[in-house]
Amino acid sequence: MKESKKLGINTTCVHVGEVKDEQFKGAVSPMYMATSYAFDNVDVKRYPRYFNTPNQEGLCRKIAALEHTENGLIFSSGMAAISTAMLAFLKKGDHVVIQQVIYGGTYNFVATEFEKYGIEYSYTESDKIEDFLPLLKENTKVLYIETPSNPLLGITDIKAISALAKEKGIITMIDNTFASPINQNPADFGIDIVIHSATKYMGGHSDISAGAIAASKEHIELIWKTGINLGGNLSDFTVWMLERSLKTLNLRVKEQTRNAKIMAEYLENNPNIDRVYYPGLKSHPQHELAKSQMKGFGAMISFELAEGIDAMKFQNALELIKPSMSLAGLESTTVSPAQTTHALLSEEERLSRGIRDGLIRFSVGIEEDEDLIADIEQAIRATIRS
């Protein structure tokens, strides 16, 4: 089949990059588990850590098609993708500007590793474009953003960031995990390197760990060179699982996004909820910006329980929605950032980042909205009674 951007999104999800079963004509890609391949010439040496087994190569094409880029690479985790991308473009003496609110693992990676390599970094004060400019230096090589961000669903202006970086010859990287390729394609706005924790929406069933990068041929080549040294390739069994998961990416994420809008509106009108953070709500301060760069507003919501409703008790009272650290599965989950992801910060630091004790991050799944609403209603009643 001819692979082009013109294919519909579901056709892309199902077919692009499939490995043809020439031997038995099976309906799905055969799984090539070999770690050793005979070579006809020395140019093509297939090997898992070279990211070039048949299943890896096929899946890379699907990921590139989903993100509207020339090429892709798949890793064993989101952090393997993030660390490999950063180390591919940064060397001793280089400087990177990073958005203040980013995934905790990325924050830890920068905080614990960069000093060892002599890489300098600065964090912005906010996700506003004005805060990036003053931090740029002669040696700034990378600008790193994440939007929507975790856990308050802040929105960074992707077009403005890439314009600023292009003017100065700086590479831009985005963590596009929360939006997924269904709701946001940063390469269309000029971002160079698009990164995903495929453990989240791309996998979507809370059963695989993986990471992905989408970028130009030239940039993928550069990341690949560092990648074969760091060795963060994904096992071919999981590559196959990820291909299978991506076939329903659009169906899943569309439904989750639709549900999330209903849930956000319900929560906004609930007297026991003080505040809702969702880029799809008109009350979100960057709603217009989100509208200009997202195709859908995603399925992550955060909300603040009214004073007197304990976050832990509320989550334990939920019967259908599971309290869980991770996100983006078919099943709805919640997490209390103050008690988990941000527990190591002091209360003062947490409050300065807008993370109150009653804040709940809600990953909306595919269950019927009336069932989710009923679960939240009963959990609030049970918590107030207790």
Q: Which residue is nearest to ligand PLP (CB)?
A: 78
Total residues contacting ligand PLP by CB under 6 A comes to: 14
Told to check if 180 binds ligand PLP by CB under 6 A, we report no
Told to check if 363 binds ligand PLP by CB under 6 A, we report no
The residues facing 75 across adjacent strands are 211, 233
Query: Are the C-beta atoms of 107 and 96 separated by less than 8 Å?
Result: no
For β-strands 333-335 and 140-146, DSSP reports them as: unpaired
207 is catalytic: no
Q: Kindly indicate which of the ranges 72-80, 87-95, 251-259, 306-314 contains the residues binding ligand PLP, using the contact rule CB under 6 A.
A: 72-80
Spell out the SS3 assignment of 241-255: HHHHHHCCHHHHHHH
Instruction: Of 23, 27, 35, 11, give the one whose Cα is nearest residue 239.
Output: 35
Told to check if 199 binds ligand PLP by CB under 6 A, we report yes
- Nearest distance, CB of residue 194 and ligand PLP, angstroms: 12
Told to check if 178 binds ligand PLP by CB under 6 A, we report yes
385 is catalytic: no
Which residues, numbered 112-171, are part of the site for ligand PLP (CB under 6 A)?
A: 150
Spell out the SS3 assignment of 95-118: EEEECCCCCHHHHHHHHHHHHHHC
- Nearest distance, CB of residue 209 and ligand PLP, angstroms: 5
- Nearest distance, CB of residue 39 and ligand PLP, angstroms: 32
Locate 234 and state its tokens.
């994904």
Cα–Cα distance, 293 to 20 (Å, whole number): 36
Query: Are the C-beta atoms of 132 and 122 separated by less than 8 Å?
Result: no
209 to 228: interface string for ligand PLP, x by CB under 6 A: x-x-----------------
Locate 359 and state its tokens.
């804040």
Query: Whose Cβ is closer to ligand PLP: residue 46's or residue 200's?
Result: 200
**Residue 153, CA distances (Å) to 15, 79, 174, 275, 376 in order:** 32, 20, 15, 13, 21
Told to check if 245 binds ligand PLP by CB under 6 A, we report no
Q: Tokens 């269904």 belong to which residue?
A: 182
Rounded to the nearest 10 degrees, how much is the dihedral formed by the CA atoms of 220, 224, 225, 230?
Answer: 140
Told to check if 293 binds ligand PLP by CB under 6 A, we report no
Q: Tokens 């909306």 belong to which residue?
A: 364
How buried is residue 105: exposed, middle or buried, by Cβ count under 10 Å (0-12/13-18/19+)? middle
Per CB under 6 A, the list member of 200, 252, 350, 361 interacting with ligand PLP is: 200
Per CB under 6 A, the list member of 162, 197, 250, 363 interacting with ligand PLP is: 197
103 is catalytic: yes
**Could you say which of 175, 252, 261, 277 is catalytic?**
175
The residues facing 298 across adjacent strands are none
Question: Angle at the Cα of 139 (from 136 to 142), degrees rounded to 5?
Answer: 65
175 is catalytic: yes
- Nearest distance, CB of residue 27 and ligand PLP, angstroms: 29
Q: Kindly indicate which of the ranges 28-36, 152-160, 195-203, 217-225 contains the residues binding ligand PLP, using the contact rule CB under 6 A.
A: 195-203
Q: Kindly indicate which of the ranges 114-122, 164-172, 174-182, 227-235 contains the residues binding ligand PLP, using the contact rule CB under 6 A.
A: 174-182
Told to check if 252 binds ligand PLP by CB under 6 A, we report no
Positions in the binding site for ligand PLP (CB under 6 A): 77-79, 103, 105, 150, 175, 177-178, 197, 199-200, 209, 211
Give the active site residues: 49, 103, 175, 200
